[in-house]
Amino acid sequence: MPSEQEIISTLEKVTTATLTTLLLKKGLRNVWMRGTRPISPGYPRIVGKAFTLRFVPAREDLATPESWSKPSSTRAAIEAMPEGCICVADAMGVKDAGIFGDILCARMKKRGVAALITDGVVRDIAGVRGTKLPVWCQGAAAPPSVAGLTFVNWGEPIGCGGVAVFPDDWVVVDDDGAVLIPAAFIDEICSTAPEQERLEGWIMSEVENGHVLPGLYPPNAENKARYEKTKK
């Protein structure tokens, strides 16, 4: 069983495209969080354990600027985030109220949060970019969270972009968006993913050499044998 650090260093070298293929082979077709796009170019691939946030729709008596001072506010949630976690926020896909702006993202960055993922949007996107916190979301909206959302709690099972996320699960994000790896699958994925990446790298080099696709991708017996030879 790999350590958390081994998981991270292993999966940082595996594309989310490869991970979804491996998870599909294990019967999991619904692990990619829809609407999670990087807000800046050039982020590295990031791997971490999910720290979940949950919102419900706004209600004028609950979703108020005053609610920001409550003990169970988003502010308290941020102070509970462990270093290295990936914050995954269930914003129910709401695109017209930003869950966080520059100040909250700056604090998350200070606390060592690895990334923020949401099926909603952020606000003050210029400021958020300035904090250098890596963010994957649906874009930006000026209004505060309370214009559309009521914060409920952290550390609960949530949905994000149509995917079930539980507090123990792992998340990998790159240019293709955020992929969930259920905690129960992490060991197996870590043990099979590097070999799959190596094989795909060999196939790519064959394509660059002019090889045709049928029989190569996926490889038939002959090509498998050729590939195996390259590993010696």
- Binding residues for a copy of itself restricted to 74-93, rule: CB under 8 A: 75-76, 78-79, 92
β partners of residue 24: none
Burial of residue 170 (number of CB atoms within 10 Å: 0-12, 13-18, 19+): buried
- What is residue 61's DSSP assignment? T
**20 vs 118, which CB is nearer to a copy of itself?**
20
> Contact between 194 and a copy of itself (CB under 8 A)?
no
**38 vs 232, which CB is nearer to a copy of itself?**
38
Given a contact cutoff of 8 angstroms between Cβ atoms, the answer to whether 106 and 122 are in contact is no
Cβ of residue 21: shortest distance to a copy of itself, in angstroms? 5
Cβ of residue 177: shortest distance to a copy of itself, in angstroms? 6
Residue of 7, 11, 14, 19 interacting with a copy of itself (CB under 8 A): 19
Residue of 2, 10, 143, 167 interacting with a copy of itself (CB under 8 A): 143
Considering only residues 148 to 167 of the shown chain, the ones binding a copy of itself according to CB under 8 A are 148, 150, 152-153, 156-159, 162-165
Q: Is 177 left (phi over 0), alpha (psi -120 to 50) or beta?
A: left
Q: Is 194 left (phi over 0), alpha (psi -120 to 50) or beta?
A: alpha
**3 vs 36, which CB is nearer to a copy of itself?**
36
- Compute the C-alpha angle 9/200/27, nearest 5°: 80
β partners of residue 149: 57
> Contact between 217 and a copy of itself (CB under 8 A)?
yes
**5 vs 66, which CB is nearer to a copy of itself?**
66
